[in-house]
Amino acid sequence: SQQGEEDPQALSIQEGENATMNCSYKTSINNLQWYRQNSGRGLVHLILIRSNEREKHSGRLRVTLDTSKKSSSLLITASRAADTASYFCATGKTGANNLFFGTGTRLTVIP
């Protein structure tokens, strides 16, 4: 079974607004990654946060990790139409060398 679950399953916002997606997981991890997938560019790595980190920024992206709640959030600020895509969290489990992907959040940014 897959490790992560994203919430919401789908999100529709106006261009310029912020988008927040959440990911919950079930077991201990040593890192959590967010990926974006659209038809034009396939699956692309966005950001990685280690289990000993609480927050990380990359451009318009902000990721938080709460290991006590086994959850993470991805915030995209000042969204653009080009941000329209599916967003997946993927967890690297302690003792495993591969990633477990969630079910994804489908984000639509309306121009």
Binding site for another protein (CB under 8 A): 2, 4, 30-31, 33, 42-45, 48, 50, 88, 90, 92, 94, 96-104
Least distance to another protein, CB of residue 96, Å: 8
User: Closest CB to another protein among 54 and 78?
Assistant: 54
Q: Exposure of 88 by Cβ count < 10 A (0-12 exposed, 13-18 middle, 19+ buried)?
A: buried
Least distance to another protein, CB of residue 66, Å: 19
Task: Read off the amino acid at residue 43.
Answer: L
Give the three-state DSSP class for 81.
helix
User: Closest CB to another protein among 18 and 94?
Assistant: 94
Backbone conformation region of residue 81, classed left if phi is above 0, alpha if psi is from -120 to 50, else beta: alpha
